[in-house]
Chain A
Amino acid sequence: NAGVTQTPKFQVLKTGQSMTLQCAQDMNHNSMYWYRQDPGMGLRLIYYSASEGTTDKGEVPNGYNVSRLNKREFSLRLESAAPSQTSVYFCASTLSGGAQETQYFGPGTRLLVL
């Protein structure tokens, strides 16, 4: 099992460009999450999907959109990238999104917006 995979690993964008970050899990998990991690700050939730077909905003959703393509895949789209979106992005999944569940994280995508 690969667990949670993310592509790409690194990306450099110019302000105003768009891109989609891909995430897939092979653990048959129902719930998936997108976080961003900035220096000196905790992981902050951007969007989450409690189950296939549903998505909801997290703490910092502005400037992002998501798609839960199927049970395995959850993508994050930046329509018009801004320098403030320079960050490391992590995808995570849990079995059913309930309390006390372990989150399984991907390796991250490092994004630089110039």
Chain B
Amino acid sequence: SQKIEQNSEALNIQEGKTATLTCNYTNYSPAYLQWYRQDPGRGPVFLLLIRENEKEKRKERLKVTFDTTLKQSLFHITASQPADSATYLCALDEADSWGKLQFGAGTQVVVTP
């Protein structure tokens, strides 16, 4: 069966450290992988997209890697800040999906001062 797995346990991290989140998938062939941020009581907000032929993508303090052999994406927040506290969702986008994303359940990140 198709599955997308993200760490269900919250990631507690000290301000200034790097947070690393994982997204593993089985029985999908994503052409693209997206990461979204979701704050409590709000809708998800797009952060980054990485294509299957890209190894790494960066945006400010965020970095995403995509390994189609391992079927895994890693999401890094460097120099983390309390304002980075949120739930982060990965979403798979297969080439013929017409925008029908498959979402993981998300990982909560808590950054303490």
Contacts and interface: CB of A to CB of B under 8 A. Distances in A.
Interface string B1-24: 000100010000000000000000
Given A48-B99, A98-B99, A99-B99, A105 B43 contact: yes
A54 B99 CA distance: 15
Interface residues of B, number: 29
Contacts of B4: 42
Contacts, number: 73
Contacts of A102: 34, 46, 49
Interface string B68-95: 0000000000000000000001010111
Given A40-B105, A99-B31, A50 B98 contact: yes
Interface in A19-40: 31, 33, 35, 40
A58 B94 CA distance: 15
B59 interface: no
